[in-house]
Structure 1
């Protein structure tokens, strides 16, 4: 079986498995080791790479590291022998074009459809970032600046330069920028504006599925909810993220007694089935507005993405029923 393809600027491809040592330069510095390996070892299953990190087969400067270790200029990475799938079972990523909201030399902002993961993993062979790379083979750098849940639609930022990626990460880590969402929930929301600050804790179900719950031992989380429109037994809400925890909006609203329509983790099966009968086969959560400073120039940027047609049709239906 063939080895994984190696970066042209780092090391040549060999016919037999062997340990490799890669020295980190300017362009790789600042990357997490797991993301670096995913790019370097194209085609190798993600689970194999994480296992190699956990087992200490991947080392930096002869020492064991965690998956979130950030590389520095001059680091020497030990890459163990890793193989691609069989040649008669190639891993193919179909290229895809997504609606572009904004693009310049530093960033790309797309309107991600619901049902598409942002990256491969957890049973998903590929996602937005892999499909964008396949569609833009000449692009030297494309990396996700943040995440959206698979069933969430809307604005997603991809960095086209490492400096832009680091700038975006610093901005988000320091609480800069503003992320706004729209969500249709079950229930008649009461307040025009409300701050939800329940701490959130990740946990795993018996089957190994990742979930999040409100728990005093969890991490601080802050969501600002605003009323947009009432539809009797349902409400259209605005949600602004002031922190970026996993499933934050979904869990905050469900814990408040207002689960998002179509949410398969924290919502009702009956509600999901009812709205599916109306044509909504997704969660009604949409990233509608982003306000950020440009990661290179600092200029203020505002991006918007309208609700998808299927969501608008559901709101029209609820309006008529009301």
Structure 2
């Protein structure tokens, strides 16, 4: 038997504030669904919008139908990171799941609380540990947001404002109101926030190199894994990406690392003016100074040697965030201290 999620052909439904759509699996005939985006949902990323509306559907499956072009907006293709607008008509294809996949989708998500750096009635700032995905998908059954919802069943709404890579630690914002979600996402989209990371890179970063302004292109490898690369200005698929770099300290090469990085390593404060996928990792690697512990764009032999010295994760931490409060407009600055394992490594 195959479990099918579908509806009546030719029907659409306005969504965004009512009863969750597709809250369970059904055995009816496969059919296309059409969803009309309302005002309250405007400004959300497509993937986040579908995660909420297609409850019970594995996030890996949602990403698959988006990448394949089966999800359409106003009859045109749409990407996972595109933002939906009020009045958009989304076409959702029939979604077929095997019994095994259906059972996995219904698997229990464990409740988990995370350190809270700030919280009020509008949003909260969490201190995300490294190694935890922000949401389920791409082979991950659940992440921070799903576990947080289980830990706070009384919360009316908990939505990710932005993302961090799985191996990146630090500041992560969660909206508690739709108005706060839209206001905060607008700030990120309009580049009105200041997101600064701490990172450790190979070699001695030149003090004069303070701005990296190079377009990035996101693509899929043959195995379906997402990657990003720097492309030439004017490239048809390139997106402008700006990264600001400030040297915090230089670290001499340690015993066993001299041959791999004779100039030592450098701790950087990195501020992104655009929020592209893997932006910091790709920009720094392209400049010849890959992030320590980066398993996608890094120096793999150096990573192996660093692991022997105790550094067994990517050294990238969301350290500081400047923003305006989504309700009051008051200027705020949030901080997340460098995790203990990174601090100990630097001090050892």
CA contact (8 A) 1:4 1:83 kept: yes
Residue in structure 1 matching 2:53, options 28, 32, 40: 40
- Cα distance per residue 1:185-223 (max 9 Å; x no partner): 111222066111122222333333222222112221111
Change (3 A) 1:303 1:159: same
In structure 2, the residue corresponding to 1:37 is in which secondary structure?
A: helix
In structure 2, the residue corresponding to 1:275 is in which secondary structure?
A: helix
Residue in structure 1 matching 2:134, options 80, 97, 118: 118
1:312 partnered with 2:332? no
Change (3 A) 1:173 1:30: closer
Match of 1:228?
A: 248
Whole-Å separation in 1 of the counterparts to 2:251 and 2:147: 38
Residue in structure 1 matching 2:84, options 67, 70, 86: 70
CA contact (8 A) 2:157 2:177 kept: yes
- Within 5 Å, which residues of 2 pair with 1:169-248? 169-191=185-207, 194-216=210-232, 217=235, 218-232=238-252, 233-248=264-279
Match of 2:28?
A: 17
CA contact (8 A) 2:228 2:282 kept: yes
CA contact (8 A) 1:11 1:22 kept: no
CA contact (8 A) 2:122 2:180 kept: yes
1:66 to partner: Cα distance = 2.9
TM-score (norm 1): 0.85
1:237 to partner: Cα distance = 0.9
Match of 1:143?
A: 159
TM-score (norm 2): 0.79
CA contact (8 A) 2:249 2:267 kept: yes
Match of 1:128?
A: 144
Moved more, 267-276 or 83-92: 83-92
1:301 to partner: Cα distance = 0.9
Structure 2 alignment gaps of length 5 or more: 7-14, 253-263
C-alpha RMSD of matched pairs (Å): 3.0
1:298 to partner: Cα distance = 0.6
Change (3 A) 1:55 1:255: closer
